[in-house]
Chain A
Amino acid sequence: MATTLTINGKTHQVDLPDDVPLLWVLRDEVGLTGTKFGCGVAACGACTVHINGEAVRSCQTPLSDVDGPVTTIEGVGTPESLATIQQAWIENQVAQCGYCQSGQIMQAASLLAENSAPTDADIDDAMQGNLCRCGTYPRIRAAIHDAATKLKEA
């Protein structure tokens, strides 16, 4: 059964059982590999994308539950045209292995969309579902504050 999805502003037809999680539709079907697989059980946040602008764990979102436009890390910005939050990530040299960072950025972007000046406590709250085995948390925190400042100035 074909399903129509809007991903990063483009329409895609996918023909997969409707219990396949969005994560695996994106990665193996649509070919958008920026969204990562970490746990498959909503425990790490590596697979975070936005649906209707809200951060969700795509590993726990079956195709049948995708009820609006999807944004992935590729839709946030590109190497040639970086989003403000990505600039903040680069300036703060956040990544180590980098595997968790797509999810971290997607989670942080949704925080900033709701809260233009998050406190440390807000960041703790919003980001605690996103695991980083390399321990980049202090720089993620700094990058979020930085991005908030940049967005205000823009």
Chain B
Amino acid sequence: MSSTAELVQTIVGKHGTRREHLLPILQDLAKEQRYVTEDAMIEVARALDLSAAEVYGTASFYTFLEPVPTGEHVIRICKTITCYMKGKDEVIKAIEDHLRVKLGGTTTDGKFSFFAANCIGWCHEGPAMLIDDKVYTKLTPKKAIDAINEY
């Protein structure tokens, strides 16, 4: 059995095989593998007796489960209106220059992916971003780059 199949089996064993277990399974997979891989989705579809397309449809709905390969760390900058008004565009520009990658891309060394996210709930302290699970707020271009340099 492939390692993906084993991983899926363990996670499915933990949650169950009903339709409503799909989301927690995908969340665990994203945690383990950084993103939900094609092979993993096929294994989940088998385990839950769903079509692979249904699994993909569910995963692709959620920014955090997006089934695209990501770097070692994922930076998600809030793209909504309050953060925009507080200057997210300059922050984005600075990060793009620093990492030499466009929003939506992954650095060539595979260390960082840089994505936009819907509201992350920090409007009062925007612009805000996440690096993996950690929140960074009241960003300026410099603060953002300092944060990235922690990794």
Q: Do A and B share a complex?
A: no
Residues of A within 8 A of B (CB): none
